[in-house]
């Protein structure tokens, strides 16, 4: 390579050519120089645009989302093999598992494997059960396929509504999607309570219409009344948005302001949430332990707050064992390892 | 440019080309590792991208080498090369992301059939490689059009 006729100073000529008089542009050197200028400018602009798009949008997407389709678990489980004694209950809780991707399948597979050794008859879904589309279209892929072993074993699923917390606020589309989810999951309503063995469960709708819509006070009054009438030894509240979180979204302060006095007044034991894609457990706050179990298919960074007892960004689900007046929670990772274990004792007055 | 930089620049460019193709797969692998899937999850995509990246790095290196022998101006080679790399960086990352995000339902239906997911991944990155290669060659050809033969056949 010998440098060419224009030599190293040619780029200067190129820039000059772009600004220079057009009368020299018929063929020859300055026409080529103008092309160089355009191509170089296009390259620089393209590189800057590519860098901006990649750094601002695409890379966060790749490192945060669960976009690679996953293989569904192919286990066959013994149906109905869990304990049904009135003072005992084992259940799982999982949030934000609606991708249908590899990570979601890995967590679902681990749930099925855990069932083989520690069978449970209930899964509390903590919201966001469908990403990248609506549930009516994606039901099979984001719910039926990953949970097939558990569904076939007769495990029950109860859903805390959590979708459409950002882009579909108060919209008809958002409410229609919520209605579709409720219908597909067989959930009795947007907020409801159930009883399993020694525990009462209270499922809330913390989506934007649920928390901040015109019907929100009705839901809080319902919770107040239903908790007041609760008679079981354990009271567990499930909702999508965490009242305490050190993650990407953080604590949902609006919901905390409205909910916390009710939870405190009725001595709730455990509050399970998702939304932030990590696992976090608080120290008891006024006797209430708050758990974020949102690592159903994605992970995002989590910090430590004054209320944090333990926190980690991991794909996980929660397994809770209740034996009379003792409750033990296990945060289980995709490899089957226990990430966290905690113990609660039932309130003395119950 | 010195003789030393002449020798170093094409391999550096080939290495950058390789890294740009490999990076999206590494991002997915990083996400899997962070979540606790520290085994083979994501390695299939890393291997697929590494193979494709290695092949294209060789092709891109050869392209530069060939252009150095035919170019009248060294600047033309590198302008075309940077344009191609910009297209590659954007397309090799954006195309798989858009295809996976936008057609999640279609891809989920093939996930249980084994290798089609890897084939899909390679396919989208191959499109990016082709776009980049076309860009590099077209820009170079535009900057250095083939000389018209002097005098025509009688």
Inter-chain touch B6–A315, beta carbons under 8 Å? no
Residues A54, A106, single domain; the answer is no
Residues A290, A184, single domain; the answer is yes
What residues have CB less than 8 Å from A234, skipping those under 6 apart? A198, A199, A200, A269, A270, A322, A327, A346
List of chain A residues whose C-beta atoms are within 8 Å of the C-beta of residue B144: 32
Inter-chain touch B79–A132, beta carbons under 8 Å? no
The overall average pLDDT reported for chain B is: 84
ipTM: 0.79
- Say what the pLDDT of residue A301 is: 92
- A interface test, pick of B17, B35, B70 with most A CB neighbours within 10 Å: B35
The distance of A21 to chain B (nearest Cα, Å) reads 20
SS (H, E, C) chain B: CCHHHHHHHHHHHHHHHHHHHHHHHHHHHHHHHHHCCCCCCCHHHHHHHHHHHHHHHHHHHHHHHHHHHHCCCHHHHHHHHHHHHHHHHHHHHHHHHHHHHHCHHHHHCCHHHCCHHHHHHHHHHHHHHHHHHHHHHHHHHHHCCCCCCCCCCC
Query: Which structural domain, as residue segments, surrounds residue A92?
Result: 88-345
Inter-residue contact A274 to A248 (CB < 8 Å): no
Residues A46, A154, single domain; the answer is no
Residues A144, A206, single domain; the answer is yes
- Say what the pLDDT of residue A166 is: 52
Q: Which residue of A has its CA nearest to B34?
A: A314
Say which of B101, B110, B117 has its CB closest to residue A132: B101
Residues A140, A56, single domain; the answer is no
- Say what the pLDDT of residue A16 is: 39
Q: Is B102 part of any domain? A: yes
Q: Is B23 part of any domain? A: yes
Query: Which structural domain, as residue segments, surrounds residue B21?
Result: 3-143
Q: Is A296 part of any domain? A: yes
Q: What number is the average pLDDT over the span B91-119?
A: 78
If one counts the domains in chain B, the total is 1
Mark which residues 307-346 of A lie under 8 Å from B by CB.
313-316, 333-335, 337
Residues A269, A306, single domain; the answer is yes
- Say what the pLDDT of residue B31 is: 87
Inter-chain touch B104–A132, beta carbons under 8 Å? yes
Q: Which of A102, A167, A26, A46 is nearest to A298 (CA)?
A: A102
Band of pLDDT at residue B70, cut at 50, 70 and 90 = confident
Q: Is B113 part of any domain? A: yes
Q: Is B57 part of any domain? A: yes
List of chain A residues whose C-beta atoms are within 8 Å of the C-beta of residue B87: 46, 50
The distance of B14 to chain A (nearest Cα, Å) reads 17
- Say what the pLDDT of residue A170 is: 55
B16 at interface of A, judged by CB pairs closer than 8 A: no
Inter-chain touch A58–B93, beta carbons under 8 Å? yes
Residues A185, A233, single domain; the answer is yes
Residues A146, A18, single domain; the answer is no
Scored b (16 or more CB within 10 A) or e, A201-239 reads: bbbbbbbbbbbebeebeebbebbbebbeebebbbbbbbb
The distance of B85 to chain A (nearest Cα, Å) reads 8
If one counts the domains in chain A, the total is 2
Q: Is B80 part of any domain? A: yes
Q: Which contacts (CB < 8 Å, 24+ apart) does range B141-146 have?
A: B142/A35, B142/A39, B143/A32, B143/A35, B143/A36, B143/A39, B143/B73, B143/B76, B143/B79, B143/B80, B144/A32, B144/B70, B144/B71, B144/B72, B144/B73, B144/B76
Q: Which residue of A has its CA nearest to B3?
A: A1
Q: Is A73 part of any domain? A: no
Q: Which of A61, A102, A145, A108 is nearest to B32 (CA)?
A: A102
Residues A139, A31, single domain; the answer is no
Q: Is A80 part of any domain? A: no
The distance of B127 to chain A (nearest Cα, Å) reads 17
Task: Indicate the SS3 state at residue A164.
Answer: coil
Q: What number is the average pLDDT over the span B36-48?
A: 80
Tens-digit pLDDT string for chain A (350 aa): 333 444 444 444 333 333 333 333 444 455 568 888 888 888 888 888 878 888 888 888 888 889 888 888 989 999 999 998 999 999 999 999 999 899 999 999 999 999 999 999 999 999 998 888 878 788 888 899 999 999 999 999 999 988 665 555 556 777 777 777 777 888 888 899 999 999 999 999 888 777 777 778 899 999 999 999 999 999 999 999 999 999 999 999 988 999 999 999 999 999 999 999 999 999 999 999 999 999 999 999 999 999 999 999 999 999 999 999 999 999 999 989 999 999 999 987 77
- Residues B69 and B60: their CA atoms lie apart, in Å, by 15
Band of pLDDT at residue B41, cut at 50, 70 and 90 = low
- Say what the pLDDT of residue B39 is: 62
Residues A206, A298, single domain; the answer is yes
Residues A99, A245, single domain; the answer is yes
- Say what the pLDDT of residue A44 is: 84
Q: Is A4 part of any domain? A: no
Say which of B41, B85, B144 has its CB closest to residue A106: B41
Residue B148 has pLDDT above 60, yes or no: no
Q: Is B149 part of any domain? A: no
Say which of A47, A69, A295 has its CB closest to residue B111: A69
Inter-residue contact A268 to A247 (CB < 8 Å): no
Inter-residue contact A64 to A298 (CB < 8 Å): yes
Q: Is A76 part of any domain? A: no
Q: Is A77 part of any domain? A: no
Q: Is A72 part of any domain? A: no
Using one digit for the tens of pLDDT, what is the confidence trace for A141-189?
A: 889 999 999 999 999 999 998 866 555 555 677 777 777 777 788 888 8
Residues A57, A105, single domain; the answer is no
Q: What is the CATH number of the domain that holds A212?
A: 3.60.21.10
- Say what the pLDDT of residue A5 is: 42
């Amino acid at each position: 390579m010998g440098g060419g006729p224009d030599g190293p100073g040619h780029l200067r000529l190129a820039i000059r050519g772009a600004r220079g008089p057009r009368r020299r542009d018929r063929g020859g050197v300055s026409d080529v120089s103008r092309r160089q200028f355009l191509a170089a400018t296009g390259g620089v602009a393209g590189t800057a645009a590519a860098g901006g798009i990649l750094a601002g949008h695409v890379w966060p997407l790749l490192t945060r989302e669960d976009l690679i389709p996953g293989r569904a678990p192919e286990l066959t489980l013994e149906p109905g093999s869990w304990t049904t004694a009135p003072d005992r209950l084992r259940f799982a809780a999982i949030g934000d598992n609606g991708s249908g991707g590899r990570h979601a399948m890995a967590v679902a597979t681990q749930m099925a494997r855990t069932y083989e050794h520690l069978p449970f008859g209930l899964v509390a879904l903590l919201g966001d059960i469908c990403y990248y589309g609506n549930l009516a279209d994606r039901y099979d892929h984001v719910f039926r396929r990953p949970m097939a072993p558990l569904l076939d074993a007769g495990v029950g699923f109860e859903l805390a509504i959590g979708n459409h917390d950002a882009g579909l606020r108060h919209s008809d589309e958002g409410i229609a999607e919520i209605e579709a989810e409720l219908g597909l999951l067989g959930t009795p309503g947007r907020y409801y309570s159930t009883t399993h063995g020694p525990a009462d469960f209270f499922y809330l709708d913390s989506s934007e219409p649920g928390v901040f819509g015109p019907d929100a006070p009705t839901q809080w009054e319902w919770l107040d009344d239903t908790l007041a009438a609760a008679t079981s030894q354990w009271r567990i509240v499930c909702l999508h948005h965490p009242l305490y979180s050190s993650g990407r979204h953080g604590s949902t302060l609006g919901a905390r302001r409205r909910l916390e006095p009710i939870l405190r007044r009725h001595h709730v034991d455990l509050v399970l949430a998702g939304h932030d894609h990590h696992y976090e457990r608080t120290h008891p706050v006024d006797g209430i332990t708050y758990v974020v179990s949102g690592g159903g298919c994605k992970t995002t960074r989590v910090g430590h707050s004054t209320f944090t007892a333990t926190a980690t960004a991991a794909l996980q689900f929660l397994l809770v064992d209740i034996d009379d007046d003792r409750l033990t929670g296990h945060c289980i990772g995709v490899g089957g390892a226990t990430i966290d274990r905690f113990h609660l004792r039932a309130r003395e007055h119950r | 440019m010195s003789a030393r930089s002449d020798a170093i620049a094409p391999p550096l460019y080939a290495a950058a080309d390789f890294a740009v193709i490999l990076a999206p797969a590494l991002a997915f692998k990083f996400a899997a590792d962070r979540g606790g899937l520290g085994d083979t999850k994501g390695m299939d995509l890393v291997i697929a991208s590494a193979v494709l990246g290695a092949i294209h790095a060789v092709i891109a290196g050869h392209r530069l080498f060939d252009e150095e022998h035919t170019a009248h101006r060294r600047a033309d080679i590198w302008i075309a090369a940077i344009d191609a790399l910009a297209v590659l960086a954007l397309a090799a990352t954006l195309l798989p992301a858009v295809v996976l995000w936008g057609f999640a339902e279609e891809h989920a239906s093939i996930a249980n059939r084994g290798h089609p997911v890897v084939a899909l991944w390679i396919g989208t990155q191959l499109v990016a490689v082709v776009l980049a290669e076309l860009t590099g060659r077209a820009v170079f050809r535009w900057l250095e059009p083939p000389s018209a033969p002097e005098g025509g056949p009688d």
